[in-house]
Amino acid sequence: MRLIIMALMGASFALFGSLASARAATPINPQADMKAFQGYFLKRFPKVPLAAYVNGPYNFSKSEADQWKQIMEFPPYQFALDTGKSVFNTKFPNGKDYASCFPNGGVGIAQNYPMFDPKTGRVVTLGIAINRCRVANGLKKLKLTTGPMADILAYMTSTSDGKPINVVVPNNPKALAAYRAGKEYFYSRRGQLNFSCASCHVQEAGMHLRGNVLAPALGMTAAFPLYRSKWGNMGTLVRRFIGCNKKVHSVPAKPDSAAYRDLAYFLTYMNNGLPVSGPGARP
């Protein structure tokens, strides 16, 4: 029986890989990709409204949803919100602050990240933008995965709560190339287990794996940063990327790598129109 299951999985992955290759060979059309991506999930799970996808696995497990509702009466990430707000509003040694680095003082802008920077020709996540701000004001970069960075992101993201995600892929060759690279990363298999991001979060979305429900890729970025019970603290989206790479026995890229920037760019664009719901909480 195990051999039969493995054979079926192998055939499924092969078919999915061929479809991914076909997609990669077509002209870049982010808007068409997004429409097809969201349409896939809406057709597969017709009882789940589009906006509800920001709730991740809780759409597919009543017991986990009930536990989540109880937990959210006293959000486990509240400490991060409080700390992040305090840090965000603390003056730098030169008298400036984080607000001076962002439009609208950094309030209500998280829904626009990641964004393409035409000056550098690279994708900039909100975390990387925060580090740029620090360096410009004579401070060292923060670790992108957890700690103070996750706290600052929690606060900034909370000020965009409910705003529709609005990531833009401009008609710029480098922006389109970054988007394509992120798309190819998402669908490419890697590691000793030969899994792609899509293997778990598209093909097997909503299914159980070792007692946990695999969250759909649709809506995934909307809840970050988030508090995970297994972590015992806050983590950013790139921390999740690194963790997934390790699970499939693949060597992770660096947190600020082009690979993860582009992956975040593609995946967040696929979530355009969904409401920001971060910070979030997951098992």
Which residues does the annotation mark as catalytic? 244
The CA distance from 155 to 95, in Å, is 21
Is the Cβ–Cβ distance between 135 and 141 less than 8 Å?
A: yes
Is the Cβ–Cβ distance between 219 and 56 less than 8 Å?
A: yes
The CA distance from 202 to 168, in Å, is 23
Burial tier of 64 (Cβ tally within 10 Å: 0-12, 13-18, 19+): middle
The CA distance from 131 to 55, in Å, is 29
213 three-state secondary structure: strand
